[in-house]
Chain A
Amino acid sequence: MLKRSLLAAVAVGTLMAAGAAQADTVKIGYIDPLSGAFANVGDSGKRHFEFFAEKINANGGLNGDMIEIVAFDNKINPKESLIQLQKAIDEGISIVVQGNGSSIASAIIDAVNKHNRRNPDEPVLFLNYAAVDPAFTNDRCSFWHFRFDADADMKMEALTDWLATREDLGKVYIIGQDYSFGKAVQAAANRMLAAKSPEKEIVGDELHPLGKVKDFSPYIAKIKASDADVVITGNWGTDMTLLVKAASDAGLDVPILTYYGGGLGTPTAMGDTALGRVMQITEWHENVEDLGLEPLMDEFEAEHEIDFYYYRVRNLMNMLQKAAEKAGSVEPAALAHALEGMEHETEVGTITMRADNHQLIQPLYLSTFSDDVARDVENTGYGFKTDYRIEGPATSTETSCEMKRPS
Chain B
Amino acid sequence: MKRYVLSRIAQGLFTIWAVTAVLFCLTRIFGDPISLMLPLEATEQDRKNLTRQLNLDKPIPVQYLSYINDVAHGNFGLSYSFRQPAAEVILKRIPATVELACGAMIFSILIGITAGMLSVLRPRTWIERISMGLALFGQAAPFFWVGLMLIMLFSVYLRLLPSSGRGGLVNLILPSITLGMWSTAAIARLTRSRMRDVLSKEYIKLARLKGLRESIIIWKHAFRNATIPIITLIGLELGSMLGGAVVTETVFAWPGIGRLVIEAVLLRDYALVSGITIFVSFIFVGLNLVIDLTYGIIDPRVALSKHRV
A binds B: no
The residues of B with any CB-CB pair to A shorter than 8 Å are: none
The residues of A with any CB-CB pair to B shorter than 8 Å are: none
